[in-house]
Amino acid sequence: MASVRQSALRVAQSVPKTVDPFAAEVIAGLAAKPKRLLPKYFYDAVGSALFERITQLPEYYPTRCELALLRAHAPAIASLFPPNCALVEFGSGGSKKARLLLGAAATIEAYVPVDISGDFLQQDCAQLRREFPRLAVHPVVADFTSPFSIPSQVAALPRVGFFPGSTIGNFEPHEAAKFLRHAGVVLGRGAVMIVGVDLIKDTKILCPAYNDAEGVTAKFNLNVLARINRELGANFDLTTFEHHALYNSKQNRIEMHLASMRRQKVRIQGTTISFRAGETIHTENSYKYSVESFAALAQGSGWSPLQVWTDGQFSVHALRRSDEK
Ligand code: AVJ
């Protein structure tokens, strides 16, 4: 009898529930108080396409401003790069911005785009190799917020980090500091880092950028619930949730939330999540900095500010690892 029970136990143990980090983090975030979801989960194929549309909205100034700054100052930015360097981009997406630097800096020997989405990355690299035949392209499929290693082929080259888009604004300031320290370790001695950072400004400009007239940002925000329905078999009724975006002037951040318009229950893989009427899920923070406050954050995280380019709305910072002269 004992042996039968033991073997039954063994079978049960040999079929553990698969721990999908997406499922685990979604369920943990919705069980938390207040409810929250991580912004990195916005970017499935549908979400990435919606974000691409956001970057073209009249109200969404950051992408246009940053592209104009990079275009105008690419030669000055490139002049700071060590000769024969490897350009390492954190979360490369479509590498449109990297192309501006690659075009201006003949001294870049290798490009290392680091992105979580392997499919996009491979396609993009094939295209880049055609456009820049003398450039060595070494993609890394990784979540850039966790430690990853630089491909051995470029290990000997000095490195330039590139983190555009104000993606750093998604981190809490203490996490942004931790990220910059980690980037310093990955990039090594002599490294330079180029970071795009959105600036604190009038809410008359800030708020419409996250509440566009066409409702694309609302769709982008709501898509995270649609993704949970698609991938985790949940039953969110998207018509009962509303997109909210507001500026929190105490913390210098745009907050996005999804508000349940009624009291309701949602099922996700055997877990029931209850919503009060009006209860929100906090889906994103987008921190804004002043030129000075970001320079101070960088300085406290192992980087010396070298130069900054700004149009008053957005800023591009060049930093050098502090242990170097
Ligand atoms: C990609 C994080 C820079 O915060 O502006 C755009 C994401 N969210 N509209 C930003 C976003 C809503 C974007 N970042």
**pLDDT average per 10 residues of sequence, the chain (325 residues):** 44 58 95 96 92 96 98 97 96 86 94 86 91 95 88 95 97 97 93 98 98 98 98 98 98 98 97 98 98 98 98 98 75
- Tally: H helices and E strands in the chain: 10, 14
**Dihedral pair phi/psi, residue 192, rounded to 5°:** -115, 150
Token pair in block for residue 236: 């969110």
The pLDDT of residue 154: 93
Predicted TM-score (pTM) above 0.85: yes
- What's the burial of 282, exposed, middle or buried (CB within 10 Å: 0-12/13-18/19+)? middle
Could you tell me which residues come within 8 angstroms of residue 320 by beta carbon, excluding any fewer than 6 positions away? Answer: 80, 191, 192, 193, 303, 304, 306
In contact, 150 and 86? CB cutoff 8 Å? yes
Return the best residue to mutate from 284, 288, 315 for the ligand 1 pocket (most ligand atoms within 8 A of CB).
Answer: 284
Residue type, 101: L
Closest CA to ligand 1's atom 14: 167
Closest CA to ligand 1's atom 2: 167
How far apart (Å, rounded) are the C-alpha atoms in residues 196 and 205? 18
> Model confidence over 18-51: pLDDT tens digits?
678 899 999 999 999 999 999 999 989 899 899 9
The strand ranges marked E within the chain are 35-36, 85-90, 108-115, 136-137, 140-141, 159-163, 192-198, 241-248, 253-260, 264-268, 271-275, 280-287, 303-310, 314-321
In contact, 165 and 97? CB cutoff 8 Å? yes
Closest CA to ligand 1's atom 1: 167
Ligand 1, atom nearest to 51 Cα: 6
The pLDDT of residue 211: 98
With a 6 A CB cut-off, is 212 part of the ligand 1 pocket? Answer: no
Return the best residue to mutate from 90, 166, 243 for the ligand 1 pocket (most ligand atoms within 8 A of CB).
Answer: 166
Q: How many CB atoms lie within 10 A of CB 131?
A: 10
The pLDDT of residue 273: 98
With a 6 A CB cut-off, is 284 part of the ligand 1 pocket? Answer: yes
The pLDDT of residue 95: 85
Closest CA to ligand 1's atom 13: 167
Could you tell me which residues come within 8 angstroms of residue 39 by beta carbon, excluding any fewer than 6 positions away? Answer: 170, 283, 284, 285
Q: Measuring CA to CA, which residue among 313, 199, 316 is closest to residue 252? A: 199
With a 6 A CB cut-off, is 252 part of the ligand 1 pocket? Answer: no
How far apart (Å, rounded) are the C-alpha atoms in residues 63 and 110? 25
The pLDDT of residue 227: 97
With a 6 A CB cut-off, is 167 part of the ligand 1 pocket? Answer: yes
In contact, 210 and 57? CB cutoff 8 Å? no
The pLDDT of residue 76: 97
Q: Measuring CA to CA, which residue among 41, 75, 109, 76 is closest to residue 256? A: 41
With a 6 A CB cut-off, is 286 part of the ligand 1 pocket? Answer: yes
The pLDDT of residue 161: 97
> Model confidence over 106-156: pLDDT tens digits?
889 999 999 887 777 888 899 999 999 999 999 999 888 888 889 999 999
With a 6 A CB cut-off, is 217 part of the ligand 1 pocket? Answer: yes
The pLDDT of residue 158: 96
